[in-house]
Amino acid sequence: MPSSFTEYPLSEEILSALEQLQYRTPTPVQVKVIPEILAGKDVLAKSQTGSGKTASFGIPLCELVEWDENRPQALVLAPTRELAIQVKEDIFHIGRYKRINVPVLFGRSPFYKQVQALKQKTHIVVGTPGRVLDHMERKTLDTSAIRYLVIDEADEMLNMGFREDIETILGQLPEERQTMLFSATMPKPILEIAKRYLHEPEIVKVIQKELTVPKIEQYYYEVNPRKKNEVLSRLLDMYDPSLSLVFCNTKRKVDELVADLKGRGYFAEGLHGDMKQSQRDRVMNGFRNGRTDILVATDVAARGIDVDDVEAVFNYDVPQDDEYYVHRIGRTGRAGREGRAFTLVVGKEIYKLKDIQRYCKTKIRRQPIPSVNDVAAIKVEKLLEQAGELIATDGLGRMMDLLEEYLDGSDYSATEMAAALLAMQLGETSTQTLPKEEFGDTGAEPGMVRMFMNIGKKDRVRIGDILGAVAGESGMEGALVGTIDMYDNFSFVEVPQEYAAAVLEAMNHSKIKGRRVNMEPAKNVRN
């Protein structure tokens, strides 16, 4: 078993990038996969997420592609927008010194910007099946020079209904190519695809070692993707940790989240691989010295973090690798201290979290999202505790004299004055209420809301497209979507009442097959 990446036939550019990324010893999946890809063989790999799988194909792809070729030479398919972004980031960093250009294609992103990116010199394209196929059909993605194809998380793609899209893509790619398929499980449909589209593949199976999870409190919250920042803020306010680590999967999300947290009044800073060393040092010194309460980081950037006083870890994004979860939460609960870990889960990410639980042999408990009133109650309790501690010091003599003097000439009681001061300390938090929207009778089944959409069969839209859009945009599990009725020019879809407002908000900012969606509650008339 190779003990170093230097034992592989890799260029100095790739080795330098791996050194900077602190990739020194190949993981088991990398040991088995990298030589096969470099040797030009098709690969069928069964491996749980969590052992550097992306690098196992990212390293040889970056080595094999020719920089002088202007057309894309490699295509990587990923099931979700989040995974596609992370794969793109990982490949970019591996190939940075070889100047590998890696555009990423996914829905909910301006199409024209992706077209502009594809017009540049492009080496490796990463994307979700639906958006990749869209570009292929519109002739904005040139696949004539594709020599390498990677299908990542193949079982997850099939679970999400992408089989037809995948087979359409495979049928349009050059036959003379090298194909790599990665899957955590090998159900019959996966084997059928492998038999049909892979040529004498090398079968790779990796058994992961057992991971040890620190004994800390672990919780997860199912959230609407548009409410993640709000939920994170509530958790920060409720638990009020002195030092917190927040993990995101991409450097872009780190920057966006830091800006949002600062706008909410938190002392937050970001840490990711694109920052200069001087910037990283400044941020880390601020975190160690307590000038920064919240550090938002990517997994790669966080490798050098060694701070014992971290009270809480927040997984803003569910980690793509199981081992990353362990590494993340292991940053808290050190030196015998108590620690907590919180994970925000969107839609089908719940299945990924269940994989993490099985792999790590740990229990992550589901918790309800705290309401505004819950947060206010906790704040009141903590303020009262602090007040009690201050009273115990017997150092309030002058303050009591001033208050008694004021109350003697007023119509207020001491209790009313204390309540007013408490309300002033809390701001408007204690009076905030969550919005509630009533939809009335829309003709849906009990507990459901029937929605009207301006998208129909004539728009070349399938039921699966509507299902995927509703689930993907709102963060709701696809299994919760009810009846979908399609007509030529419009459609109806039923969603659970508790998700109706989120679905309505999300879909009215989205597109399906390039057509802008208009959605509204249906009238109580069955068509």
pLDDT of residue 191: 92
108 plus 180 within the same structural domain: yes
Beta strands in 355-434 (DSSP E): 365-366
User: Among residues 362, 396, 431, which one ends one of the domains?
Assistant: 431
Confidence at 324, pLDDT banded by 50, 70, 90: confident
Give me the pLDDT at residue 345, please: 94
Indicate whether 104 and 14 sit together in one domain: yes
Same domain as 265, residue 358: yes
Q: How confident is the model at residue 219 (pLDDT cuts 50, 70, 90)?
A: very high
- Does the pLDDT of residue 186 top 50, yes or no? yes
Q: With a cut of 50, say whether residue 431 has pLDDT above it.
A: no
pLDDT in tens, 127-181: 999 999 999 999 999 999 999 999 998 987 887 789 999 999 999 999 999 999 9
Give the domain range for residue 126.
5-205
* Whether pLDDT at 336 is above 90: no
335 and 295, same structural domain? yes
Q: Give the three-class secondary structure for 176.
A: coil
Question: Which segments within 268-333 are labelled E, that is strand?
Answer: 268-271, 294-297, 312-315
In this structure, is residue 441 part of a structural domain? no
Between 474 and 88, residue with greater pLDDT: 88
* Span 113-120, average pLDDT: 94
pLDDT given at position 155: 84
Which pLDDT tens digit goes with each residue over 455-486?
988 888 888 889 888 887 777 777 778 888 88
Residue 477 CA neighbour count, 13 Å, CB half = 10
Give, as one character, the DSSP assignment of residue 121: -
Indicate whether 436 belongs to any domain: no
Q: Which of 60-64, 247-251, 438-442, 520-524 has the lowest mean pLDDT?
A: 438-442
281 and 320 share one domain? yes
**Residue 383 confidence class, pLDDT cut points 50, 70, 90:** confident
In which band, very low, low, confident or very high, does the pLDDT at 209 lie, cut at 50, 70 and 90?
low
The answer on 344 and 234 residing in a single domain is yes
Asked whether residue 210 is domain-assigned, the answer is no
Q: How many domains does one find in the chain?
A: 4
CATH code where residue 510 lies: 3.30.70.330
The answer to whether residue 211 is domain-embedded is no
Mean pLDDT across the chain: 85
Structure tokens at 359: 């792999």
Bridge partners, 319 (sequence order): none
Structure confidence at residue 525 (pLDDT): 56
Q: pLDDT tens digits, residue range 258-304?
A: 999 988 888 999 998 778 767 877 888 888 888 899 999 988 677 55
Task: Work out the average pLDDT over 80-86.
Answer: 81
Residue 213 scores a pLDDT above 70: no
If asked whether residues 421 and 473 sit together in one domain, one would say: no
* Domain assignment of residue 500, yes or no: yes
The partner residues of 516 in beta bridges, in order of sequence, read 511
- Among the three residues 205, 237, 255, which one is the final residue of a domain in this structure? 205
Q: Is the pLDDT of residue 199 over 70?
A: yes
Region 307-321: mean pLDDT is 87
Q: Angle between the 163-172 and 129-137 helix axes, to the nearest 10 degrees?
A: 40
* CATH number, domain with residue 24: 3.40.50.300
251-258: long-range contacts at Cβ-Cβ below 8 A with a sequence spacing of 24 or more? Answer: 251/89, 251/298, 251/301, 252/85, 253/316, 253/317, 254/296, 254/297, 254/298, 254/301, 257/229, 257/232, 257/296, 257/316, 258/296
Residue 212 belongs to some domain of the structure: no
pLDDT computed for residue 303 by the predictor: 58
CA distance 322 to 32: 19
Distance between CA atoms of 167 and 12, rounded to whole angstroms?
Answer: 37
Q: What is the pLDDT of residue 124?
A: 98
Q: 61: buried, middle or exposed (CB in 10 Å: 19+, 13-18, 0-12)?
A: buried
Q: Are residues 194 and 227 in the same domain?
A: no
Lowest mean pLDDT among 7-16, 67-76, 342-351, 431-440: 431-440
Question: How far from chain centre, in Å, is Cα 369?
Answer: 18
Strands 511-512 and 515-516 turn out to be antiparallel
For the residues 193-216, what does the mean pLDDT come to? 78
Write down the pLDDT at residue 310: 87
Instruction: Kindly indicate the confidence band of residue 527, based on its pLDDT and cuts at 50, 70 and 90.
Output: very low
Q: Is 254 among the domain residues?
A: yes
Domain final position from 185, 205, 225: 205
Asked if residue 12 has pLDDT above 50, the reply is yes
Distance CA(320)–CA(334), nearest Å, equals 24
Q: What is the pLDDT of residue 435?
A: 39
Place of tokens 């819950």: 374
Is the domain of 258 the same as that of 342?
A: yes
pLDDT of residue 334: 62
Q: Is the pLDDT of residue 429 over 50?
A: no
Domain co-membership, 246 together with 265: yes
pLDDT at residue 313 tops 80: yes
pLDDT in tens, 482-491: 888 888 889 9
User: Under a CB-based contact definition with an 8 Å cutoff, are residues 150 and 182 in contact?
Assistant: yes
Q: Do both 250 and 180 map to the same domain?
A: no
Residues 457 and 311 occupy one common structural domain: no
Asked if residue 440 is part of any domain, the answer here is no
